[in-house]
Amino acid sequence: MNLLLAEDDALLADALQQQLLNAGFKVEWAENGAVAEYLLRKQDFDIAILDLGLPMVDGLTVLKRVREAGRTLPILVLTALDALEHRVAGLQAGADDYLTKPFDFPELEARLHALLRRGRPAGAAQQLRGLTLDRAARRASVGAQALELSPREWTLLDLLVGERDRVVTKQQIAEAWGSDDGGSIEVYIHRLRKKLEGSGLAVRTVRGLGYLLEATASP
């Protein structure tokens, strides 16, 4: 199980990391909110522990941005603030559970396992504007219309969505396809553009660099 631990208190993070490792989690540590946001958007974690009081970018903002980016992983929020309004704000921003410091590790572990058990059968689908991407089922749809995608088109779309708003190079695409054949990429991009019509998303060519998926001005 890949777990992201976002906690700026190095002593606490260190102790937690050790206990989580012993409990069978593979842990990546983010010491501030900027790193946490970057890692959560960039990598696929099974679950995250997010402290609300983080430097650079506070935990609530990280939470909101990560959810806006379509990340559906379970997130357990940690905080020293016991006030009700923080709890409410955290849950509204997309936290799945909540633990107030100080806490006992067994309590944390039990909650992590409960969140993982709860699973995310419906949550596995990512929604971006009018596009729904269900990675578990390898299906995509625009509105209610299911898209007919070849394996290469699926991989291309999956990659563009994962890197949304960032440039994807032809080399990245060829690697995702497991092929050296970068020559036909434009053909696939062209087909994908047609299929994404009406989704509120567009694939933009960045000359000399690659492609990026972005929201269009009007959906």
Q: Which residues bind Ca ion (CB under 5 A)?
A: 8, 51, 53
CB of 17 to Ca ion, least distance (A): 15
**Which CB, 11 or 217, lies closer to Ca ion?**
11
148: CB partners within 8 A, 6+ apart: 195
54 Cα distance to chain centroid: 19
Tokens representing 155 are: 């991989």
- Would you tell me the crossing angle of helices 33-42 and 59-68 to the nearest 10 degrees? 20
**Which CB, 53 or 200, lies closer to Ca ion?**
53
CA atoms within 13 A on the CB side of 103: 19
**Which CB, 75 or 189, lies closer to Ca ion?**
75
**Which CB, 51 or 163, lies closer to Ca ion?**
51
CB of 165 to Ca ion, least distance (A): 28
CB of 57 to Ca ion, least distance (A): 12
CB of 5 to Ca ion, least distance (A): 12
Q: Which among 80, 63, 78, 64 is positioned nearest to 20, based on CA atoms?
A: 78
Q: Which among 101, 91, 97, 133 is positioned nearest to 118, based on CA atoms?
A: 97
